[in-house]
């Protein structure tokens, strides 16, 4: 299902007149999945590169105020395309937007930037910060060998994926031979004193790296040097949290005079490597995983809130009084899959479902002849007198055998008649099972597991599922309880009126 696009994306890439169900492309090649971020000067989209078997890429559209600025930006990104290094985000392609701007196709890094990590953690251990800065110094060393100066080293442009740190955003980069007449691009707090005079070189990248290290260890930027400062200034917290060697290295990097500043990236790598411990990469990987899970949780909660706001009344028949153990999202006992993370749901703990289907592992009533979720048959059709209808969850009757039905049963449990269900207010239909769904919010169909929103599905489940086996092995009774292990204290949508059904 097509993602919803903001007006800024529509205007920048010329997507006016596109139908809601149509797939949007950038330059007829990059299929838009979702928006990663927006700002005053552009937007970043997650796209699938149809020319590379659907490889995920980040397409950054930049609004250029004038043709001269557009040509300048294009020139800098063309220079950056020749940079290929594990610690640098690769620039894969560039192009011109239909509406006065350019777009840049970047390698997609599936992880947070350093700003997000510091927002969650406030500060990080000195050895982990040194490992991040050591890798960034490797990338800067490669850039300097290619006669390019980054000029915008800051936490916003440092991306973390697993135990790997990458430096991105080369819009401010410039050739070293042009440093004497460069326009000041540096972000305040990371700009060296000489940037005010318009003179920036490799020494400026070293200063910004030192400021980044200071921020990561202490949670604060270093004090701004005065116009007549002759010695570097650092916070007393740096020695407290990082030790004497970390303070000494930061002073070498933050020296106000470029000629006395440590600027050789090879030597800087060695200095940071001396602060790294044997388990620093493992700690970095765990830190990134922890932040990713927090981001995933926040993203799901945002979707749950929008789900309540838009479909609260229509979804009362769902009876979402359970939660998925994996992502804590609201689910109903009529669902086979969690619509938020795609986890297989197994409802077996209730006393009224003493056995379970061997095919789909969902709970079964002892009197049912057919699994109502997958259609597996377990016996002959029972006589009408043995069909129990006293359970409050039976809300309708089969049109073929008059047996009682619960909400969202795909098959009659008595005769095997197939059914599809329609929820008022939801006009989208799952292509796999025909049930009505909220495709713009669900990542997966809760009834057949069909992927409804490729972007949500890609974002939602990989990290949650990677931890599932370890958590279940430590959880008592997990083999019989499955993902239906906890009932919600309060039903999110209240009572359950009769659900409309369509054959």
Confidence of residue 491 (pLDDT cuts 50, 70, 90): very low
- E-state strands within 261-377: 322-323, 330-331, 355-356, 363-364
Nearest by Cα to 239 from 118, 123, 126: 126
Is residue 153 within 8 A of residue 185, CB to CB? The reply is no
Is residue 181 within 8 A of residue 198, CB to CB? The reply is yes
Spatial neighbors of 364 by CB under 8 A, at least 6 apart, are: 353, 355, 356, 357, 371, 378, 413
pLDDT mean over 185-197? 79
List of domains in the chain:
7-107 (3.30.200.20), 114-284 (1.10.510.10), 313-502 (no CATH)
Residue of 17 and 497 predicted with greater confidence = 17
pLDDT mean over 312-337? 68
Report, as residue numbers or ranges, the catalytic residues. Answer: 152
pLDDT mean over 443-466? 68
**Cα angle 102-108-111, degrees, rounded to a multiple of 5:** 130
Confidence of residue 503 (pLDDT cuts 50, 70, 90): very low
Least confident of 115-119, 259-263, 343-347: 343-347
CA distance 173 to 153: 10
Q: Supply the pLDDT for residue 500.
A: 29
Least confident of 55-69, 196-210, 261-275, 335-349: 335-349
Q: Is the per-residue pLDDT at 226 higher than 50? A: yes
Confidence of residue 435 (pLDDT cuts 50, 70, 90): confident
Confidence of residue 220 (pLDDT cuts 50, 70, 90): very high
Spatial neighbors of 183 by CB under 8 A, at least 6 apart, are: 198
Q: Is the per-residue pLDDT at 320 higher than 80? A: no
CA distance 372 to 408: 9
Residue of 396 and 222 predicted with greater confidence = 222
Q: What is the full DSSP assignment across 385-396? A: GG----STTEEE
| pTM given for the model | 0.70
Collapsed DSSP state (helix, strand, coil) of residue 57: strand
Least confident of 106-110, 234-238, 272-276, 488-492: 488-492
Q: Is the per-residue pLDDT at 350 higher than 80? A: no
Collapsed DSSP state (helix, strand, coil) of residue 363: strand
Confidence of residue 322 (pLDDT cuts 50, 70, 90): confident
Is residue 230 within 8 A of residue 257, CB to CB? The reply is yes
Is residue 212 within 8 A of residue 194, CB to CB? The reply is no
- E-state strands within 122-255: 148-149, 158-161, 164-167, 174-175
CA distance 208 to 186: 9
Q: How many other CB atoms are there within 10 angstroms of residue 17's CB atom?
A: 7
Confidence of residue 159 (pLDDT cuts 50, 70, 90): very high
Q: Supply the pLDDT for residue 502.
A: 31
Residue of 71 and 386 predicted with greater confidence = 71
Confidence of residue 253 (pLDDT cuts 50, 70, 90): very high
CA distance 336 to 245: 56
Spatial neighbors of 472 by CB under 8 A, at least 6 apart, are: 478
Confidence of residue 246 (pLDDT cuts 50, 70, 90): very high
Please state, for a pLDDT cut of 70, what percent of the chain lies above it: 75
pLDDT mean over 33-47? 79
Q: Supply the pLDDT for residue 429.
A: 82
Query: For all residues of the chain together, what is the average pLDDT?
Result: 77
Q: Supply the pLDDT for residue 182.
A: 47
Residue of 222 and 375 predicted with greater confidence = 222
174 DSSP β-pair partners? 149
Least confident of 60-74, 125-139, 414-428: 60-74
CA distance 27 to 17: 16
pLDDT mean over 404-432? 79
Q: Supply the pLDDT for residue 316.
A: 57
429 DSSP β-pair partners? 436
Q: Is the per-residue pLDDT at 453 higher than 70? A: yes
Residue of 503 and 390 predicted with greater confidence = 390
Q: Supply the pLDDT for residue 186.
A: 64
Q: Is the per-residue pLDDT at 310 higher than 80? A: no
CA distance 316 to 493: 5
Q: Is the per-residue pLDDT at 86 higher than 90? A: yes
Confidence of residue 189 (pLDDT cuts 50, 70, 90): confident
């Amino acid at each position: 299902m097509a993602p919803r696009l903001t007006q800024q994306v529509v205007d920048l890439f010329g997507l006016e007149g596109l139908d809601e169900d149509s797939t949007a492309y950038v330059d007829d090649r990059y299929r838009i999945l979702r928006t990663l971020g927006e700002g005053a000067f552009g937007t970043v989209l997650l796209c699938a590169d149809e020319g590379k078997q659907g490889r995920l890429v980040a397409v950054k559209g930049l609004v250029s105020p004038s043709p001269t600025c557009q040509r300048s930006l294009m020139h800098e990104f063309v220079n950056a395309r020749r940079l290929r290094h594990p610690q640098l985000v690769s620039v894969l392609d560039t192009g011109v937007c239909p509406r006065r701007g350019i777009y840049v196709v970047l390698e997609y890094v599936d992880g947070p930037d350093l700003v997000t990590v510091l927002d969650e953690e406030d500060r990080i251990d000195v050895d982990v910060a040194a490992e991040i800065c050591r890798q960034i110094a490797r990338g800067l060393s490669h850039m300097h060998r290619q006669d390019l100066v980054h000029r915008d080293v800051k936490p916003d442009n440092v991306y973390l994926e697993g135990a790997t740190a990458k430096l991105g955003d080369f819009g401010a980069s410039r050739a070293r031979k042009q440093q004497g007449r460069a326009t000041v691009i540096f972000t305040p707090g990371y700009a060296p004193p000489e940037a005010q005079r318009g003179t920036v070189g490799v020494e400026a990248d070293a200063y910004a790296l030192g400021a980044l290290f200071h921020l990561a260890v202490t949670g604060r930027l270093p004090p701004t040097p005065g116009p007549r400062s002759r010695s570097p200034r650092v916070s007393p917290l740096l020695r407290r949290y990082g030790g004497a060697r970390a303070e000494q290295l930061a002073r070498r990097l933050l020296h106000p005079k470029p000629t006395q500043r440590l600027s050789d990236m090879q030597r800087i790598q060695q200095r940071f490597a001396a602060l790294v411990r044997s388990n620093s990469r493992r700690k970095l990987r765990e830190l990134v995983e922890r932040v990713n899970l927090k981001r995933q949780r926040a993203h799901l909660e945002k979707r749950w809130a929008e789900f309540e706001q838009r479909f609260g009344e229509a979804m009362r028949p769902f009876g979402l009084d359970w939660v998925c153990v994996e992502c804590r999202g609201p689910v109903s006992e009529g669902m086979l899959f969690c619509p938020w993370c795609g986890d297989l749901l197994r409802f077996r703990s209730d006393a009224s479902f003493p056995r379970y289907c061997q095919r789909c592992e969902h709970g079964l009533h002892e009197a049912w002849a057919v699994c109502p979720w997958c259609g597996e048959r377990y016996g002959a059709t029972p006589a009408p007198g043995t069909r129990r209808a006293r359970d409050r969850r039976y809300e309708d009757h089969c049109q073929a055998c008059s047996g009682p039905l619960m909400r969202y049963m795909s098959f009659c449990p008595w005769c095997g008649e197939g059914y599809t269900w329609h929820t008022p207010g939801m006009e989208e239909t799952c292509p796999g099972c025909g049930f009505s769904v909220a495709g713009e919010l669900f990542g997966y169909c809760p009834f057949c597991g069909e992927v409804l929103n490729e972007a949500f599905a890609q974002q939602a489940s990989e990290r949650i599922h990677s931890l599932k086996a370890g958590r279940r092995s430590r959880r008592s009774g997990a083999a019989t309880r499955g993902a239906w292990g906890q009932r919600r204290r309060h039903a999110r949508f209240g009572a359950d009126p009769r659900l409309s059904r369509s054959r």
